Structure 1
Amino acid sequence: MNYTNINNKKLRELMKEDVLLIDIRNKDEYEEKRIQNSINIQLHDLLYNIDEIEEYKDKKVIIYCRSGHRSITACNLLVMQGFKHIYNLEKGIINYKL
């Protein structure tokens, strides 16, 4: 495992920095509720859209989904693509609080 699991408190700390926040849920889920400043790249489209986020390979990237399961897959895919600082929001947006 080359990514770090984080909780809400750590998420708030990281969001004060230059980070990329990716919601990997489907568009309907994203429209219903999302974390501010996140972008939506669905899990099944992640590898096809990797060039869109290539500039973040050496920066911090936070991934979240509904409950924290799909985001683990996304984290692993990004690590395999050479991304260095990947964070998974544990328990996803279900447990998210501002």
Structure 2
Amino acid sequence: MKIAELIDDTTIFVDVRTPDEYQEGHIPGALNIPLPDIFNRKQEIRGLGEKPVIFYCRSGSRSGMAVSQLQKEGYKEIYNGGGIAALQSALLEKGNH
């Protein structure tokens, strides 16, 4: 499934980059949970419910690690959106954000 197919008005985005990277630009409304903080803040992610949650970073590497780790713990409806530039392009194509 392509990430663009998951995006709608209920999609939640989690930016796993550093706070400085997040401040330089991010998807509007995205939560900033840096990769090193994922396990300390995983209840925040679980609290998001059954909505699709798309993780992203600069290139897709850190977001891939976050998704992989959380899936091993049984998290569902979480996806690696890859890098921010590709995700922003997908959002533009969908007409969202």
Q: Normalised by the size of structure 2, how large is the TM-score?
A: 0.79
3-state SS of paired residue (2:13): strand
3-state SS of paired residue (1:52): helix
The residue type equivalent to 2:60 in the other structure is G
Matches within 5 A, 1:35-74: 35-56=27-48, 58-74=50-66
| Aligned alpha-carbon RMSD (Å) | 1.9
Q: Normalised by the size of structure 1, how large is the TM-score?
A: 0.78
Question: Does the CA-based 8 Å contact 1:5-1:87 persist in structure 2?
Answer: no
User: How many pairs does the alignment contain?
Assistant: 89
Task: Provide the rounded CA distance (Å) in 2 between the counterparts of 1:36 and 1:56.
Answer: 17
Q: 1:56: how far off?
A: 2.8
Question: Does the CA-based 8 Å contact 1:19-1:62 persist in structure 2?
Answer: yes
Q: Deviations over 1:12-66 (max 9, x none)?
A: x534232221000000000001011101000000000011222235331100000
Following TM superposition, the consecutive aligned residue runs of length 4 or more in structure 1 with deviations greater than 6 angstroms are: none
Task: Tell me which residue corresponds to 2:85.
Answer: 94
Unaligned runs of 5+ in 1: none
Identity %: 40
* Residues 74 and 32 of structure 1, relative CA distance in 2, 3 Å threshold: same
Question: Which structure is richer in relative contact order (CA contacts within 8 A, separation 6 or more)?
Answer: 1
Task: Provide the rounded CA distance (Å) in 2 between the counterparts of 1:58 and 1:30.
Answer: 25
